[in-house]
């Protein structure tokens, strides 16, 4: 069987499994407090514990698949301030950037932790600031080798079912092997979400990056696209599932587009 868009059999079957999972459980009853929870899952610094599993498949001569495991842990610092730990653990299968020959490798990329301070009782306008720490890649060839630090800022607006906002940061290397390449990397994610009836929503959340250390004309990754999702319950566990496609307007490595799907489990806060 020929798989569309040069997708390998395991990835193609994973997408089909996702659609089946989504279709079967999308008719389950909605979580209690659906309105508040629907807004919370669209807010990256909400006071909820969750574990998103976000899979991004970039289409190229050699496809790059990145499964981001992104546990989110909120802590109340004072009555008025929360500290949100947002972690990203990337499990990557793609081109080996350390090799002069065309090859493929798999492993762990650059693990990062954002520590964002945000109001504990926000209104329609929500903000957060704090540092992001990014560690050298666990697997050579799947990221940069130095430890990097970034100031991060988030701002968003929520009202009448809409969530509109962005998070941005720029990372600079501050430690690591002296013979390793320096890091000067810009990252931003813009998100626009409209909640609909029965837990459904439509969204656009492109991730824009720029590697300032790369040669001019080969620095930016700028995608444009959209998707949809639904908040539902698996037994008593709230689940947020979404699927989207993004076309690269410009890509540093020549990728044409990205297929993204995500499953996010919202867990009880036990502390």
Q: Which two tokens stand for residue 154?
A: 């988030």
b/e burial code for range 124-157 (CB count within 10 A of at least 16 → b): eebebebebebbbbbbebbbbbbbbbbebebebe
pLDDT of 23 over the 50 cut: no
Q: How much is the pTM? A: 0.85
Confidence label for 4 from pLDDT (cuts 50, 70 and 90): very low
Residue 131 to residue 169: CA distance in whole angstroms:
9
Q: Which CATH architecture has domain 8-242?
A: Beta Barrel (2.40)
Say what the pLDDT of residue 61 is. 86
Indicate the domain borders of the chain: 8-242
Q: What is the pLDDT of residue 140?
A: 85
pLDDT per position as a tens digit, 171-188: 999 999 999 999 999 999
Q: Is 21 exposed, middle or buried (0-12, 13-18, 19+ CB in 10 A)?
A: middle
């Amino acid at each position: 069987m020929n798989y569309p868009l040069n997708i390998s059999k395991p990835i193609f079957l994973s997408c089909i499994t996702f659609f089946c999972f989504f279709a079967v459980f999308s008719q389950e009853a909605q979580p209690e407090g659906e309105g508040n929870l629907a807004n919370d899952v669209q807010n990256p610094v909400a006071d909820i514990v969750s574990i998103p599993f976000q899979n991004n498949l970039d289409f190229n001569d050699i496809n790059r698949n990145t499964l981001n495991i992104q546990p989110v842990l909120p802590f109340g610092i004072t009555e008025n301030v929360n500290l949100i730990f947002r972690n990203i653990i990337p499990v990557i299968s793609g081109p080996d950037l350390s090799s002069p020959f065309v090859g493929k490798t798999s492993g762990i990329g650059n693990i990062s932790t954002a520590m964002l301070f945000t109001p504990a009782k926000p209104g329609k306008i929500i903000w957060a600031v704090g540092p992001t720490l990014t560690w050298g890649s666990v697997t050579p060839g799947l990221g940069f080798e130095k430890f990097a630090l970034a100031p991060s800022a988030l701002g968003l607006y929520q009202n009448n079912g809409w969530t509109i906002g962005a998070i941005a940061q720029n990372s600079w290397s501050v430690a690591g092997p002296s013979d390793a390449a320096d890091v000067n990397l810009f990252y931003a994610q813009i998100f626009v979400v409209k909640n609909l009836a029965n837990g459904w929503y439509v969204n656009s959340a492109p991730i824009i990056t720029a590697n300032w250390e790369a040669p001019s004309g080969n620095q930016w990754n700028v995608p444009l696209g959209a998707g949809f999702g639904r908040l539902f319950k698996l037994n008593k566990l709230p689940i947020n599932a979404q699927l989207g496609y993004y076309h690269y307007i410009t890509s540093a490595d020549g990728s044409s587009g990205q297929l993204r799907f995500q499953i996010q489990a919202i867990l009880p806060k036990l502390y």
